[in-house]
């Protein structure tokens, strides 16, 4: 991969990803974390536009993936697939792979995914590009890169360590994101490190596309030893608050002639409060991620030192460490 040095590493967190998609102009969706591949989990948050899977990358896993049913990039002309040509961009690229391939289910909901003018123009502009050029286009998209880099961790103090140790640590902790999307009756795995999209299978009549994606994700997990538990699965779904507000308006109209909807309206109010609380927590956490606490900590250490407390704290900590 070509490293242009323009992208930071971001945390795999649904609150981060939800804010990121809003920053690039996408409306009507949020990102939720999933803790199992149980069909009930998918039914609870349906419709699911796509899945993002984070796993520990190893050369052997990459070689196994390259032996799967990889298609030529132009085999499915309506499918947006881009190679990852820059380090640290795979999280945002996995999200884009879902957003630029998203299709709306045939239902009556007024809440729809809108990718916005910027991504619409980007998709049209890159329509005839090969995967390598699409990857370069993503890396040079100012809106996407700026939104991604707004979550850069604050790094004011740098530790000095042996170069070989740092290299070994980096090699031991390489993680990668891939996406899973449905399109035109088939399900695809989109991995920017592969030459093309991976066809997972057809969607059987009467079944859901996640019935195809779920076993593929489980198979990836099974490729690791039983001791490896560092996986993360997230789903791009409809904005829950917008869905609930829409249902609330419908039921409030119905309440004029039907008292039986009162109980559901009370449930909706509780769910809206929970969503509001959850989103406020995410907003607060994202603000903390961006805040630089180093000046505060340095000032606190100076005050402790000026009062003669710092050395006593250091001595006490050393004593506790020697006793343990």
Active site residues: 90, 176
Cα 172–Cα 174–Cα 175 angle in degrees, nearest 5: 140
CA 268, chain centre distance (Å) = 27
d(CA 131, CA 138): 11
Q: Are 29 and 104 in contact (CB under 8 A)?
A: no
Altogether, the residues listed in the chain come to a count of: 324
Distance CA 14, CA 34 (A): 10
Give the span between the Cα atoms of 89 and 57, in whole angstroms.
Answer: 15
Hey, which bits of the chain come out as E strands?
A: 29-34, 48-56, 175-183, 186-190, 198-202, 232-238
Cα separation, 113 vs 104, in Å, equals 7
């Amino acid at each position: 991969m070509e490293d242009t040095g323009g992208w930071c590493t971001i945390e795999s967190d649904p609150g981060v990803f939800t804010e990121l998609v809003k920053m690039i102009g996408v409306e009507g969706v949020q990102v939720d974390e999933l803790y199992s591949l149980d069909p009930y989990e998918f039914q609870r948050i349906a419709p699911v536009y796509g899945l993002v899977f984070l796993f520990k990358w190893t050369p052997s896993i990459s070689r196994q993936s390259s032996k799967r049913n990889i298609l030529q990039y132009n085999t499915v002309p309506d499918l947006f697939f881009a190679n990852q040509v820059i380090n640290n961009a795979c999280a945002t690229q996995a999200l884009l792979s879902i957003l630029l391939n998203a299709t709306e289910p045939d239902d009556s909901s007024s809440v729809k995914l809108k990718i916005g003018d910027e991504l619409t123009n980007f998709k049209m502009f890159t329509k005839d590009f090969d995967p390598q050029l699409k990857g370069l286009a993503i890396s040079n998209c100012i809106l996407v890169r700026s939104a991604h880099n707004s979550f850069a961790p604050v790094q004011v103090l740098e530790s000095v360590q042996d170069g070989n140790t740092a290299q070994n640590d980096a090699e031991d902790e390489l993680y990668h994101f891939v996406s899973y999307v449905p399109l035109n009756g088939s399900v695809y795995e989109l991995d920017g490190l592969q030459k093309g999209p991976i066809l997972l299978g057809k969607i059987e009549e009467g079944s859901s596309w996640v019935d195809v994606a779920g076993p593929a994700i489980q198979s990836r997990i099974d490729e690791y030893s039983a001791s490896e538990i560092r996986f993360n699965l997230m789903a791009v779904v409809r904005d829950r608050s917008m869905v609930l507000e829409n249902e609330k308006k419908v039921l409030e109209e119905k309440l004029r002639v039907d008292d039986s909807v009162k109980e559901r309206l009370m449930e909706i109010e509780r769910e809206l409060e929970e969503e509001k609380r959850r989103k406020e927590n995410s907003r607060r956490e994202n603000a903390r991620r961006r805040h630089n606490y180093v000046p505060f900590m340095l000032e606190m250490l100076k005050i402790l030192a000026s009062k003669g407390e710092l050395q006593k704290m250091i001595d006490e900590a050393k004593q506790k460490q020697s006793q343990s």
